[in-house]
Amino acid sequence: MLDRHPIAAASLRDIVAAVSSGRSTPEREIAAAKERVAAADGEIGAFLRLAPEASLAAASAASGPLAGVTIGVKDIYDTRDMATEHGSPVYRGYRPVADAALVSMARLAGAAILGKTTTTEFASLDPTPTRNPRNLSHTPGGSSSGSAAAVAAGMVPLAFGSQTGGSVIRPASFCGVAGYKPSFRLLPTVGMKTFSYTLDTAGLFAATAGDLAVAAKAITGRDLAAPVPADAAGLTVGLYRSSVDFEVRPEMLAAVEEAARLMEGAGARIVELEEPAALAEARASHGIVQGFEAVMALSDEYRNHHDEIGPMVAAILDDAARLEPAAYDAARRAARVGRKAASALFESVDVILAPSALGAAPVTLASTGDAMMNKLWTLTGNPVVNVPGFAGEEGLPLGVSVIARFGRDARALAIAALLQNLVTPQ
């Protein structure tokens, strides 16, 4: 059905099992990851810098559920042992004194922070030089460009990203990996550069949805790794029909239909869900909320470093600086109504299937693609998991989103793992 570029790295679950059983050690896994980065990153450019040897030596001696698991961290997360530059010349060489909360939580779980991955400036739109490992002439997506590419190329089994519009789910789709945008604020954003404080969401990349669940459970201590069902019997799955589906490429629409057929074949009941007007309006309000908050969050950079920041983020801030508070307040009201409408969808379905992007990764490194298919679910705060394994006519990856009710992250991850197993049987 699909031509998949093989993931070179062992899966996160394989690494955890090997270390916990004594068949491997954290030191060996960290050394192997460094070798993979040295071999692959020259042409991909996912990493900006690797952690100092002292940090990696400490991680080699660590214990915990993620001992031996190496992580690439998007360079908007503070790291006490490496520079954090937010993809911007304004912060060149900036060295925080403490880790971001999520980074610290990962270290406490025994993981090794291998290095910092590329990000568009302030996690916005100005692209990085990172290339898509599936086809080097195509964008890896953004803003979490390096994190998605590092996992897709097999350099690390886990990477941290963030999503304000579509910056986890879209690059995961473009690069053919699993991506997880949790329910809003399930993962802390303390110590992560703010762009929009009511939208910014920390997220994860891994080879599979099952790996994501194991990582999320280990980092948070929450029971997010629910058993993956053997089939879809008893599930009701909504096929989401949005007001912007006319923008979606036929091959992506076909991938969503294929996902629905697979779930139906495994016993699920499929129902069509027409987008309520409140959710279409909520999607339209996303840009106002994001822009208005970005002007405040980046007020100093915008006022005092305008000539240093990239043209795309500067244009967003220039436009948003003209927004009136009344427009922001109206957009926030639309967002609140949209969240209630999103909750109502799950009165009749367990999960929703929707496109993870408009199509496959565009043939360009000058753009990271369009977040149109993601921004609604970022605004509503619902958990979303990109399921890889689908592909278009040219063999480039296509991802399908599994979306669940707010707070039902374990369900989203488990059903995403089921769908991934149906697409690419193990």
The model's pLDDT over 222-231, given as tens digits with 9 standing for 90+, comes to 999 999 999 9
pTM > 0.95: yes or no: yes
Every domain of the chain and the residues it spans: 12-232
**Which of 253, 210, 175, 242 lies closest to 410 in space, CA to CA?**
210
Name the burial class of residue 402, with classes exposed (0-12), middle (13-18) and buried (19+) by CB atoms within 10 angstroms of its CB: buried
Give the three-class secondary structure for 171.
helix
Concatenating the DSSP letter of every residue in 58-69 gives HHHT--STTTT-
d(CA 383, CA 174): 19
**Which of 418, 403, 395 lies closest to 132 in space, CA to CA?**
395
Spot the catalytic one: 24, 34, 55, 74: 74
d(CA 172, CA 64): 27
Kind of pairing between the strands at 158-163 and 112-117:
unpaired
Spot the catalytic one: 55, 143, 196, 401: 143
Note the pLDDT of residue 425. Answer: 82
Measured CA distances, 74 to 77, 119, 172, 202 (Å): 6, 6, 14, 10
Note the pLDDT of residue 393. Answer: 84
- b/e per residue 242-260 (b: at least 16 CB within 10 A): bbebeebeebbeebbebbb
The reply to whether 193 belongs to the active site is no
Note the pLDDT of residue 187. Answer: 98
Measured CA distances, 245 to 135, 248, 358, 405 (Å): 26, 5, 9, 21
**Which of 71, 169, 158, 94 lies closest to 373 in space, CA to CA?**
169
For 58-94, how does the pLDDT look when each residue is reduced to its tens digit (9 = 90+)?
Answer: 999 999 999 999 999 999 999 999 999 999 999 999 9
Spot the catalytic one: 55, 167, 173, 183: 167
The reply to whether 21 belongs to the active site is no
d(CA 234, CA 230): 12
Helix H or strand E encompassing 48:
strand 47-50
**Which of 144, 68, 154 lies closest to 386 in space, CA to CA?**
144
Q: Per the omega criterion (within 30 degrees of 0), is the bond before 143 cis?
A: yes
Helix H or strand E encompassing 44:
helix 26-44
d(CA 392, CA 254): 9
The reply to whether 167 belongs to the active site is yes
d(CA 361, CA 156): 21
State phi, psi for 114 to the nearest 5 degrees: -75, -35
Q: Is it true that domain 12-232 has CATH number 3.30.70.100?
A: no
Note the pLDDT of residue 9. Answer: 62
d(CA 96, CA 81): 8
CB 352 within 8 A of CB 377: no
Contacts with 315 (C-beta within 8 Å, 6 or more apart), sequence order: none
Could you tell me the two tokens for 151? Answer: 């996992």
CB 122 within 8 A of CB 79: no
CB 150 within 8 A of CB 62: no
**Which of 411, 373, 420 lies closest to 183 in space, CA to CA?**
411
Residue 403 region by backbone torsions, left for phi larger than 0, else alpha for psi between -120 and 50, else beta = beta
* Low-confidence residues of the chain: pLDDT under 50: 1-7
Q: What angle do the packed helices 209-220 and 12-21 form, to 10 degrees?
A: 60
Could you tell me the two tokens for 189? Answer: 């954003």
Single-letter amino acid code for the residue at 390: F
